[in-house]
């Protein structure tokens, strides 16, 4: 178990100066802030009411959901083709056949990255009202 910097200071006999120690006590001095300005720093903001609710047009929301499902189906299909190719490579070629899967896995990772970027961009455009 390691000790933190505070424990090391206490074990080695290092102490903070008196001015620094008093600043950490309740009611201790705070540099640059006098008692008359302390009350103005703790001012609570006024209540602003309920948050604005953004409603999306149903047509745009449906188009976004279709796009999400299109990406999901594409990725699931490519994952299925990759799995089938891996099974066939293992069955017919043996363990050396897994080297043939490297381009397919690279394409799958590229498709995942493209889907993430595309859906994030579409969602931001949808919520910003473009």
Q: What are phi and psi of 33, to 5 degrees?
A: -125, 115
Instruction: Give the model's pLDDT for residue 97.
Output: 84
Residue 1 confidence (pLDDT): 47
pLDDT value for 115 = 97
pLDDT tens, per residue, the chain with 130 residues: 455 555 555 555 555 555 555 555 555 555 555 555 555 555 555 556 666 666 778 888 899 999 999 999 999 999 999 999 999 998 988 888 888 889 999 999 999 999 999 999 999 888 886 5
SS (H, E, C) the chain: CCCCHHHHHHHCCCCCCHHHHHHCCCCCCECCECHHHHHHHCCCCCCCCCCCCCCCCHHHHHHHHHHHHHHHHHHHHHHHHHHHHHHHHHHHCCHHHHHHHHHHHHHHHHHHHHHHHHHHHHHHHHHHCC
pLDDT the model gives residue 87:
92
């Amino acid at each position: 178990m390691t000790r933190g910097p505070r424990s090391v200071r206490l074990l080695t006999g290092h102490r903070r100066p008196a001015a620094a120690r008093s600043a950490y006590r309740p009611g201790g001095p705070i540099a640059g802030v006098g008692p008359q300005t302390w009350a103005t720093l703790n001012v609570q903001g006024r209540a602003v009411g309920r948050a604005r609710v953004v409603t999306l047009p149903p047509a745009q929301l449906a188009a976004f959901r279709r796009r999400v499902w299109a990406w999901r189906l594409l990725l699931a299909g490519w994952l299925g083709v990759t799995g089938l190719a891996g099974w066939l490579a293992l069955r017919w070629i043996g363990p050396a056949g897994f080297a043939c899967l490297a381009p397919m896995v690279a394409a799958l990772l590229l498709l995942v990255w493209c889907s993430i970027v595309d859906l994030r961009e579409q969602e931001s455009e949808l919520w910003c009202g473009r």
